[in-house]
């Protein structure tokens, strides 16, 4: 079957998306809407409203049969289209079949240790990625999923089974609805279930002031990771760089100083938890 998924970006060689040099594939589409999302243009699928077309200075965008068409060869990556899009989307996506993606991965294979699917939220494409992950594994590469943690564990179990593990976000606990627009604690449950079957590579929390319960979030994660010394907890300081103007207005004041951020590392140490990484 020639099913396709929308891909926002492929980074052939990345060393920030899990262990070793990895190909990172960013899918388009996410069910969350986090205040500090640094690639919020990946949240929605393009509605083909056409608003961005006339703003493109390079004629890389056009409309054909009511659909916005992106010509990558003309694009100068000025990102005007992303700035003017009112729907948290981008016209700069490409649709790929599994065979298309495999052809790219095979060409990078001599230089990479694995592939990481990021986004957007990769688990939204669980069926597609399950089959792809099985093919990638046959090349001797590892496969990671970078996920927001909000997925139906049982429904996507074939994907969980097919991959080596998850880079899992725990964005917050008590204030998750305010921060990301979801009400439940599925992410914590999923963390527990993934830990039980040794499918967590790393847990990540982005820290900022005001909008989240920092201490409770850190405690909840550290308590769960305590008996899994192979799984590090990465704390990431939220940054202004990369935020859209409206996001900056919402969270700009809440960006922590380095000193404030480091204090959360001290909190974990005092608690007796040392397996963490501070990303300033």
Residues forming the site for ligand SF4 (CB under 6 A): 46-52, 56, 58, 60-61, 68, 75-81, 85, 87, 89-92
Task: Give the bridge partners for 203, in sequence order.
Answer: 168, 233
CB closer to ligand SF4 out of 45 and 250: 45
CB closer to ligand SF4 out of 21 and 247: 247
Residue found by looking up tokens 């990481």 in the block: 116
Structure tokens at 229: 């010394």
Query: Minimum distance between the CB of residue 8 and ligand SF4, rounded to whole angstroms?
Result: 11
Query: Minimum distance between the CB of residue 121 and ligand SF4, rounded to whole angstroms?
Result: 18
CA distance 248 to 35: 9
CB closer to ligand SF4 out of 79 and 152: 79
Query: Minimum distance between the CB of residue 169 and ligand SF4, rounded to whole angstroms?
Result: 25
Query: Minimum distance between the CB of residue 241 and ligand SF4, rounded to whole angstroms?
Result: 18
Non-local (6+) Cβ contacts of 163 within 8 A are: 133, 143, 144, 145, 199
Task: Give the bridge partners for 4, in sequence order.
Answer: 97
* Number of other residues whose CB lies within 10 A of the CB of residue 277: 12
DSSP 255: P
CB closer to ligand SF4 out of 68 and 176: 68
Query: Minimum distance between the CB of residue 143 and ligand SF4, rounded to whole angstroms?
Result: 29
Q: 100: helix, coil or strand?
A: helix
CA distance 211 to 220: 17
């Amino acid at each position: 079957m020639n099913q396709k998924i929308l891909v926002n970006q492929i980074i052939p060689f990345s060393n920030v998306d899990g262990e070793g040099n990895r190909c990172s594939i960013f899918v388009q589409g996410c069910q969350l809407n986090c205040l500090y999302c640094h690639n919020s243009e990946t949240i929605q699928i393009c509605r083909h409203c056409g608003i961005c077309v006339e703003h493109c200075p390079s004629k890389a965008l056009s409309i054909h049969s009511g659909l916005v068409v992106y010509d990558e060869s003309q694009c100068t990556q000025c990102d005007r289209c992303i700035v003017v899009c009112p729907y948290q989307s981008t016209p700069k996506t490409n649709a790929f079949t599994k065979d298309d993606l495999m052809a790219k991965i095979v060409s990078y294979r001599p230089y990479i240790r694995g592939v990481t699917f990021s986004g957007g939220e990769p688990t939204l494409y669980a069926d597609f990625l399950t089959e792809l992950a099985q093919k990638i594994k046959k090349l001797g590469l590892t496969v990671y999923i970078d996920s927001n943690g909000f997925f139906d564990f049982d429904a996507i179990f074939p994907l969980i089974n097919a991959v080596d593990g998850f880079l899992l976000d725990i964005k917050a606990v008590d204030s998750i609805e305010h921060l990301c627009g979801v009400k439940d604690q599925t992410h914590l449950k999923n963390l527990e279930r993934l830990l039980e079957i040794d499918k967590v590579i790393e847990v990540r929390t982005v820290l900022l002031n005001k909008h989240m319960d920092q201490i409770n979030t850190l405690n909840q994660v550290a308590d769960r990771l305590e008996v899994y010394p192979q799984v590090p907890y990465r704390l990431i300081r939220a940054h202004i760089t990369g935020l859209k103007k409206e996001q900056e207005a919402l969270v700009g004041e809440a960006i922590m100083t380095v000193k404030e951020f480091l204090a959360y590392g001290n909190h974990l140490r005092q608690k007796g938890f040392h397996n963490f990484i501070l990303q300033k």
